[in-house]
Structure formats: structure tokens, C-alpha cells
Chains A and B, each alone.
Chain A
Amino acid sequence: MFDWLPIAVPPAPLFFAQLLVGLINGAFYAMLSLGLAVIFGLLNIINFTHGAQYMLGAFSAWFLLNWLGIGYWPALIIAPIAVGILGIAIERFLLRRIARLDHLYGLLLTFGLALIIEGIFRQQYGSSGQPYTIPPELQGARNLGFMFLPNYRAWVIVASLAVCLATWFVIERTRLGAYLRAATENPVLVRAFGIDVPRMVTLTYGGGVALAALAGVMAAPIYQVSPLMGSNIIIVVFAVVVIGGMGSILGAIVSGFGLGLIEGLTKVFYPEASSTVIFVIMALVLLVKPAGLFGRTA
């Protein structure tokens, strides 16, 4: 029935290897779309700079290692803080000034910022990648019986899941998260209760950006540190966000990991379609459920 499809049952190691690649990609999709969703929720801005900030995270780790000799583990803390502070400055001095205009301008402004950052790094480092070695603690691989699992990749999956769940917990289960969700619904009323919404907006943007930078540091040993790494991934992440819907934090996480896996599986069964499968799914979701799988109709 499906003779026309070049499908063959792949050998098990290849299958699991691609599944792992898919899961890793999914981890980054999830972390990035999570940040985008949180920022969009409160600021109503599609943060086009997200990819550039992810790239900045990876480059911060690389700078720390090559200029200051600071290794992976401290970089995991320092890089997100540094990029987060940059994000806070962007929000405080640029985004706030256009907060009351059409959302269109926020998109254009962050798009311009992304071009600035990317242009500078492309000029300095070309479009080739800089290698970043895996920290010694996580080198090597373990045999799971059906496949070899490199330790670093296992760490990325576990750590990103932990980060995603922690973010989910903060937003859905803590008082701070309750304020945040309330401010997303009705900022005026929340301010009337004496909560400093502008500061919350600033911190949310900083936090979302820091999340992107953290993803960047974690991606550095896997994908190499390249000026183009951000713009390569951001379009896919936008598609993931459209599929998942902006409404839900859990939606962003699930659709990130899920679409990574689907992409990986497509690479096993029908490699030609692997780069377009997410966009095909997006088209289908838009036809069937325009608000996205987890989105609320607004």
C-alpha cells in the first residue's frame, strides 16, 4: 500500500540514535519555546531576538573558556546571568518605550536587535562553528544494551527536562507565578493590588532571555558555537510555538519535545522530509485547530 514511500525498517542502533538526536533537538525546542511563551504572555511581544540570545549564551560560554579559562559548570550559571542582564537592559531601555504601541513594533524592534547581534558575530567569527569540548565529567558513553548513550547527551535531556519542569512549577504553583499569570490576564487590576507590574515585566523578559542563554550553553558542546546557530533554530521554534499554542507553559514543553522526536523519527523513515515535517504539521494544526494544540482561542 505504501510501496511508493521509501520506507524500510531501519537497524535498531540507527533508530535509537536518531531518536536520541530528536530528543536532544526537542530539549532545545522546548527550552526556547518556553521562554518565548513566557515573554509573549506578559509582554505581548514575539521576541525575535530569542535566537540571537541563545547564540549569545553559547558564545558567552566560549568566551569564558577561551579568554578567562572558566569551564562549563560555572558558565552554566554565569552566561545566563550575563545574557539575562543584557535582556533586562533591552527591556528597560528599548522595549518599554514601545510597550503601548501596536505589537508589530515590538516584533520589528527585536528583529532589528537580532540583525545587529548576528551581524557583529558573523563579521568577527564568520559562519563556521567554534568547537567547545564536553566537560571531562561528562565525557564518554554508557552502553544501554540496545544503544550507546553519550553521557553528555543524557545530561542535556535530564537537565533540560528539569529546567522546563522547574519553570513550569514556578509559574503554575508559586505565589510569584500566580502574580505573573494574573498580570498576563489583567495588568491593571494586578497593579491596583499594589504589585509592581513593570518590574515583573522586566524580570520576566530577563528570565526568558536567560533561559535561551542557558539552552545556548548546553548546546555549545553539541552543535558547536556558531553565529548562525540562533537563526537556524528560531524559525523551527516559531513553528513549534504555533503548533503548541501560546496559551500554555506545559504545551510549550510537550510540543517542543514531541516535535523533536517526530523530526528524529522522520529522519529514520523518510529522511527527505525531516526538515519540512514540522512545517507540514504546523499547516495541519492550523487547519484543524487554529489556536494550536494547547492554546486557548483568543
Chain B
Amino acid sequence: MSAVSLERGKAAPVAVWVWAAGLIALAVIAPFFFYPVFLMKALCMALFACAFNLLLGYAGLLSFGHAAFFGSASYIAAHAAKMWGLTPELAILAGVTVAAALGFVFGSLAIRRQGIYFAMVTLALEDGIQAVPRGYLFGIIDLNQTMVMYYFVLAVFLFGFGLIVRAIYSPFGQVLKAIRENEPRAISLGYRTEQYKLLAFVLSAALAGLAGSTKALVFQFASLTDVDWTMSGEVVLMTLVGGIGTILGPVVGAFLLTTMENYLAQAGSYVTTIEGAIFVLCVLTFREGIVGVVAPYAMGRRARPEPPPEEVQVEEHDVEKLRQAAGEGG
């Protein structure tokens, strides 16, 4: 739960297990109190956001085209379930495979550009997918009972989430963090950073595909609107609001934004405006995100959380010093 406590290499404190057990229990009883379809949608978005956060928060790569994996997997899974009559698990597998393959292609192109370019490349790549013929499909699933479906989705989410947590604390995850902090140094230590980044990209794409495929089965519907770049923006926003580089942050952000969209459904295009305003406010005042701020307190310690990935350049420090020396306000 707390990125802080675990990243220091200590065993997970009791608080983490208490929180984990509490949250899982909450998820198990939640459908009796809330609309299950809403919960399933939120779980899918949460998994999507966690997959995205694996790339942004831990490898420091901002992919602005992640909806491509989410949306195309969703489309493929729906197609496989309806046209080929595959069972749900095989349909999801088909979606995940396609997303991973796409992730490999996009990833091998995108990692050729670093930092800020990366975002532009992934964004532009995503638009290329729109050449796929438009249309929608209805997937027919065995899991017709809503409650059965809910626990299926919950299981998928926990599987994906567990995989991400496992990856983050594995040696692989540590190398990713090393790359995020200082890539030249990671290279000089002998790591083939390109391969690590590509693997992270493929893993993230596959998990986004898992989320997308599951969503297609939940709604029995998949359209290419899920590939739209506003969808990519949404997942960025969820991660930002919840806390970039925190484990639970994307989940919190996803539930919050899905709830908000539900309540603001009548507001029409103002939803876009509100989302934009949240973006701006978060960037200006709330960069640590909800979990980034709350986690230290929830863990019973007041330690400051690890700051989000920041590339501080020496020159920029100098600018600040100069600015202070000159005695003028920023």
C-alpha cells in the first residue's frame, strides 16, 4: 500500500496487511450496496490506470496512447466472443495477446525517443489505430448473472493488480526505478535499459488489454471510442489524481473519476471542462495525488512520501540560485 515503507526494503508492516485485507473485504461486499455494473466499470478502469502507472510512475515513461491497448483489446475480445464464439477467458486472452503485440510494436518505436518525445510518439501512434473500420459488437457471455460477473471481474482485477505489485517489487521493478531516476547511470551499471523499458511497455500494454477485454465483457459492447485519445487523457488524469508512482493511487483515482462521470452525465461537454480543470489544479497544487498525501498518515507514520519522478537538472538549479541572488520573485 505504501510505496514509502516497502521501497525501503523492509518487510511489509502490519498496517499494509490490515489495509489490504480491509479493502478486499470491502470489494467483496460492495456489490450488495452499490450498483454492480458501476463497480465493474470502476474496477476495469482501475486496472487500466494501474497498468498505465506501472509505466509512468515506475519507469518514468509517459504514454499518451494507452487507450490504443485498452480499446483494441476490448474490440478484439468482443469480436472473439461474438464472432468466433470463444469462451470469456479465451476472448480475454485474445485481447491481451493483441494488446501485448501492439505494445511490442509501439514500444519498440516509442523508446527510440526519450522523455518528452515519448509522449508525442505514443500519442501520434495511437491515432493510427483509428483506421480500423468502425462499428460495434455485442459479446455474448456465459457470465450473465451480474453478481457472478462481478466476482469474475474482481478476480481479474486482483490478478492484474497483484501482478503489477509483484513486478514493482521484483528486481525488474527496481531496475525500472533506476532507469527512471538516472538512465545513463543504469546503462553504465550494465543494464540494457532499452530492453527493460520495452518489457515494461509490453507488460503495461498487456495489462491495459486485460482491463479493456474485461470491460468489453462487462458491457457486452465494444466500440472504437475506447481508442480515442480523450480516453488516454482520462487514464492519465486518474493516475495523477490518485498519485503517480503510488500503488493504490490509480485505483483511488479511477473510482473517483468514474463516480464523477456518473454524476455529471447530464452536464454534457462540461465534463471535459471539469476534467481539464482538475488536471490544471492537480498539476499546480496537488502533484503527489490523494494516496501520495494520505498514505503516510494511513500507515501510522508521518514520513513524507517519495516525491513523484522529477528530473531535476543542474542548470535549472542554477537558474533558481541566480533568481534568488537577483532577488526577484519567480
Contacts and interface: CB of A to CB of B under 8 A. Distances in A.
Contact of A104 (B62, B113, B131, B272): B62
A187 B124 CA distance: 30
Given A191-B322, A282-B121, A105 B287 contact: yes
B115 to A, nearest CB: 7
A266 to B, nearest CB: 12
Given A108-B283, A119-B271, A119-B272, A46 B319 contact: no
A108 B240 contact: yes
B6 interface: no
Interface residues of B, number: 53
Interface in A95-120: 96-105, 107-109, 111-120
Contacts of B142: none
B109 interface: yes
A122 B120 contact: no
B112 interface: yes
B127 interface: yes
Given A115-B276, A116-B277, A120-B273, A107 B315 contact: no
B109 A112 contact: no
Query: Would you call the interface of chain B mostly helix, strand, loop, or mixed?
Result: helix
A111 B116 contact: no
B124 A112 contact: no
Chain A: number of interface residues, binned into ranges:
35 or more
A108 B235 CA distance: 12
B279 interface: yes
A166 interface: no
Contacts of A94: 280, 284
Contacts of B276: 111-119
A236 to B, nearest CB: 8
B273 to A, nearest CB: 3
Given A112-B276, A112-B280, A115-B272, A102 B311 contact: yes
A286 B109 contact: yes
Contact of B310 (A102, A113, A287, A290): A102
B262 interface: no
Contact of A108 (B123, B130, B236, B312): B236
B270 A235 contact: no
A242 interface: yes
Interface string B278-289: 111011100100
Given A119-B272, A235-B123, A98 B284 contact: yes
A178 B47 CA distance: 49
B125 interface: yes
B271 A279 contact: no
Interface string B83-125: 0000000000000000000000000011011011101110111
Interface in B220-268: 229-230, 233, 236, 240, 268
A151 interface: no
Contact of B319 (A100, A117, A119): A100
Contact of B273 (A107, A119, A192, A239): A119
B269 A119 contact: yes
B182 to A, nearest CB: 14
Given A108-B279, A286-B109, 19 more contacts: A46-B119, A98-B283, A102-B308, A103-B115, A104-B116, A107-B64, A108-B236, A115-B230, A115-B272, A116-B280, A122-B269, A188-B315, A192-B322, A231-B229, A236-B127, A279-B125, A282-B125, A286-B112, A290-B113
Q: Which 9 A-B pairs have the closest CB atoms?
A: A112-B279, A115-B276, A119-B273, A119-B272, A116-B276, A122-B269, A279-B128, A290-B112, A239-B124
20 contacts: A97-B284, A102-B308, A107-B64, A108-B240, A109-B280, A109-B283, A111-B276, A112-B283, A115-B233, A118-B276, A119-B272, A122-B268, A186-B315, A187-B315, A191-B319, A191-B322, A242-B121, A279-B128, A287-B109, A290-B112
Interface of A: 40, 44, 46, 94, 96-105, 107-109, 111-120, 122-123, 186-188, 191-192, 231, 235-236, 238-239, 241-242, 246, 275-276, 279-280, 282-283, 286-287, 290
